[in-house]
Amino acid sequence: MWVSLWRKCVRRSFSAPSSGNTYYHTNNALFSEKNPAMKRLRTVAIKSKLKPAFLREKATKDIVWSSEAPRHLDRRVTVSPELKKLSLDDEHTAKRDRTVKQKAKLDHLEFVFGISPCLLAITHGRRRILGLFVKEGDTSLRASVLKVCEEAQRHGVPIHHASKKDIDKMAPGRVHQGVCLQASPLTYVTEEKSSQSWLLPRKNKNMPLWLVLESVQDPMNLGAILRSAYFLGVDRVVSSISQSCPLSPVVSKASSGVMEVMEVYGCKNLGELLKSKQAEGWDVVGTVGAESREFCVTKCSDFTMSKPTLLLIGGEGGGLSQELQTHCHTLLTIPAGRPLFSGIESLNVSVATGILLHSLLYSRCSNKPL
């Protein structure tokens, strides 16, 4: 198609040989697929999406052959500065797009959604933030959204207005509240990533309480647990890395942004952690259902914290593994308030964690010397 088009353009535009040493000549060899000059011109024309009228104009001005070899296949063809600029611009744009895609792929960027997660992610600076996206319309005028935008402006975060359709794509099926934040992900803090030994307790006048999670896989449960742990005053949250859900934007939203504030530590071998803390004199407390008869079980309301404690919580369904139960000094349970039907004799893991944490932390406060 392009060969035929160029033939028409050139033959309509070229006149008879002019005076002097330079003249115009057209033949089949010029339009051959083997002609390198023809290939270059066709490539530039395709990339630039030129119209036939524009091609005729360029053919008249820019294609010149030397009179010394009028019928030779290797005739010199020059391209106008305009076409060269268009070609260079296309190459620059393509190179820039490739760079952006490679950078995004390298950084594994994600979209944090929701008012509180976005606000806390901006103010606490634990993520590398590329931009804030706000839904167009009345949403951008709400006081809570304006507060997020003010903090973004204060911290130098670019703000972009996006349609509802685009915002929905950033947080598919989630309640984003009209704001999304493109940022680097958060991960579990491990011993290798920490500048100091993360096994050391933080300085606290109270006896420290650490919450240890084993294989919590539901991000909604993990988010709710983090929110309760932060609110009630847990000193540290440690999670098994294997068979546990990652620290995703869903977890951040379920925690109401607590994940943006509170570090969550990851451990490859919880058994080694328990042995280490036991050697330091910590109390290891596990949790089981009320129906468990394999070990002596204590009601959570009857337990009093008397020294630094690790509270172990098992994942959904299976609960705390037998291996970790063997490391426990005490096994706690939450007594039911009525006879229970089969299949509903237990609590959701996030709800159970909140009750147990409140019970232990309340006993810690009650055990303070006067």
- Between CA 171 and CA 117 the distance in angstroms is 13
| Predicted confidence (pLDDT) per residue in 113-136, tens digit | 999 999 999 999 999 999 999 999
Residues 101, 107: contact at Cβ < 8 Å? no
Beta carbons within 8 Å of 101's beta carbon, 6+ residues apart = none
| pLDDT over 70 at 15, yes or no | no
| Predicted confidence (pLDDT) per residue in 186-240, tens digit | 999 987 554 444 444 455 567 899 999 999 999 999 999 999 999 999 999 999 9
3-state secondary structure of 34: coil
Q: Which pLDDT score is estimated for 352?
A: 96
Q: Which pLDDT score is estimated for 323?
A: 93
Pick the range with the lowest mean pLDDT from 43-47, 324-328, 344-348. 43-47
Question: Roughly how many angstroms between the first and final C-alpha of the chain, as a whole number?
Answer: 95
Residues 245, 218: contact at Cβ < 8 Å? yes
The CATH class that applies to domain 209-366 reads: alpha beta
Identify the bridge partners of residue 237 per DSSP, sorted by sequence position. Answer: 211, 264
| Predicted confidence (pLDDT) per residue in 245-269, tens digit | 999 999 999 999 999 999 999 999 9
Domain boundaries, the chain: 2-103, 108-183, 209-366
Domain 108-183 has CATH 3.40.50.170: no
| pLDDT over 60 at 27, yes or no | no
| pLDDT over 90 at 84, yes or no | no
Residues 218, 316: contact at Cβ < 8 Å? yes
108-183 against 209-366: fold identical: no
Between CA 19 and CA 26, with CA 22 as vertex, the angle to 5 degrees is: 105
| pLDDT over 60 at 277, yes or no | yes
Give the mean pLDDT of 354-365: 92
CB atoms within 10 A of CB 312: 25
- As a whole number, the mean pLDDT across the chain is 79
| pLDDT over 70 at 56, yes or no | no
Residues 116, 142: contact at Cβ < 8 Å? no
| pLDDT over 60 at 63, yes or no | no
| pLDDT over 80 at 341, yes or no | yes
pLDDT > 90 fraction of the chain, expressed in percent and rounded: 55
Q: Which pLDDT score is estimated for 199?
A: 47
User: Could you tell me how far CA 7 lies from the centroid of its own chain?
Assistant: 53
Smallest CA-to-CA distance from 78 within 64, 57, 58 is with: 64
Return the residue matching tokens 């859900």.
245
Tokens of 81: 């500065």
Q: Quote the pTM value.
A: 0.69
Pick the range with the lowest mean pLDDT from 31-45, 152-166, 190-204, 207-221. 190-204
Q: Which pLDDT score is estimated for 289?
A: 80
E strands, 125-208, are: 129-135, 159-162, 179-183
Band the pLDDT of 346: cuts 50, 70, 90. confident
Q: Which pLDDT score is estimated for 69?
A: 42
